[in-house]
Amino acid sequence: MKVISVLAISMLFAPGVALAQSSTSVLFVGNSFTYGAGSPARFYRADSVTDLNNAGIGGVPALFKAFTAQAGLDYDVYVETQPGSGLDFHIENRLGLIGRRPWDKVVMHGQSTLDFEKPGDPAKLIATSRQLSDTFQARNPSVQVYLMATWSRADETYRPEGNWADKPIEAMALDVRAASDKAAADAPAITSVIPVGEAWTRAMRTGVADPNPYDGIAFEKVDLWTHDHYHASVYGYYLEALTVFGSLTGLDPRSLGDHECAAFELGMSRRQIHALQQVAFDQLLAENAVTPAPLLLPKPAALGRCVHGR
């Protein structure tokens, strides 16, 4: 018995036997498109993530954290945001804050029009993406940096003074994606581009979301924008978070199920949850970013008994 006990103890401490895995650190760097401006997502479960600016932000990072907790994954999530900013702001003002520790994964995005002074010009996104991702890689050579391509703004498309006026609603998202692809190609540390804007376009094209909030929202369709037709609604941020979740974990967003806790807490119907998860999956599948088969959760979440935690 003594020999067996010694053998058991030695097995526990063998190099190949892990008693507990350390959590994966994820940093979100962005602006109001990350922190959920204009929706209840902004302060959603802020205590589940660490806001480096101490502003009490939950936002998309907290939605992502909720998804990973329900999927049985251990992610330690941090957020650093500034409204109305591009990556240049974070480089000039927050580099000491976000660059002082080695992150495992980073999700970041630029200003929604790419450049305040030159809307649609990718030059600033390309330069700042390279500079910031290089900084993260210098702290951790194995870091995975994801550049998020954001959505088409209805106000920039349907209003006559908009920079994408008289163009199809998908045009702005495609321009942002093209710029993000160029930035990723120029920065070795960037793992991939997260296709949030194209997921939005897919939701509109497949009838899940209404493409024009200025002429009313069609029956049984969701409005991905909030009241300003610029920022996202809770549906838009939920779709953003699902797309980020699939991109970083490789898991099928549909595996969360139509009883997914965050959506339930934010007032979505099962039909809406199912539809948005399907859209995220279809877009990620088109990018070869997920396995095309739902995975079973360790323990399906029941309504009213949501799984969360730090």
List, for residues 162-198, the tens digit of each pLDDT value.
999 999 999 999 999 999 999 999 999 999 999 999 9
Whether residue 157 has pLDDT greater than 50 = yes
Predicted local confidence at residue 291, as pLDDT: 84
How many Å apart are CA 143 and CA 134, to the nearest integer? 10
Whether residue 9 has pLDDT greater than 50 = no
How many Å apart are CA 158 and CA 210, to the nearest integer? 13
In this prediction, what percent of the chain has a pLDDT beyond 70? Answer: 87
Q: Domain spans of the chain?
A: 21-286
How many Å apart are CA 68 and CA 43, to the nearest integer? 18
Structure tokens at 140: 């951790």
Whether residue 300 has pLDDT greater than 70 = no
306 pLDDT band, cuts 50/70/90, is low
* pLDDT tens-digit series, residues 212-229: 999 999 999 999 999 999
What is the value of pTM for the model shown? 0.90
Q: What is the mean pLDDT of residues 100-127?
A: 97
Q: Look over the chain and give the mean of its residue pLDDT values, rounded to a whole number.
A: 90
How many Å apart are CA 69 and CA 72, to the nearest integer? 5
Predicted local confidence at residue 18, as pLDDT: 35
Residue whose entry in the numeric block shows the structure tokens 């907290």: 62
**Residues linked to residue 209 through DSSP beta bridges, in sequence order:** 222
In this prediction, what percent of the chain has a pLDDT beyond 90? Answer: 86
* pLDDT tens-digit series, residues 53-79: 999 999 999 999 999 999 999 999 999
Short-list 214, 234, 216, 218, CA closest to 226: 234
Predicted local confidence at residue 237, as pLDDT: 98
Predicted local confidence at residue 11, as pLDDT: 35
* pLDDT tens-digit series, residues 240-299: 999 999 999 999 999 999 999 999 999 999 999 999 999 999 999 999 999 876 655 554
Q: What is the mean pLDDT of residues 101-115?
A: 98
22 pLDDT band, cuts 50/70/90, is confident
CATH superfamily of 21-286: SGNH hydrolase (3.40.50.1110)
Whether residue 15 has pLDDT greater than 50 = no
- The answer for residues whose C-beta is within 8 angstroms of residue 121's C-beta and 6 or more apart is 114, 115
Three-state secondary structure string covering 138-164: HHCCCCEEEEECCCCCHHHHHCCCCCC
How many Å apart are CA 108 and CA 132, to the nearest integer? 9
How many Å apart are CA 181 and CA 194, to the nearest integer? 10
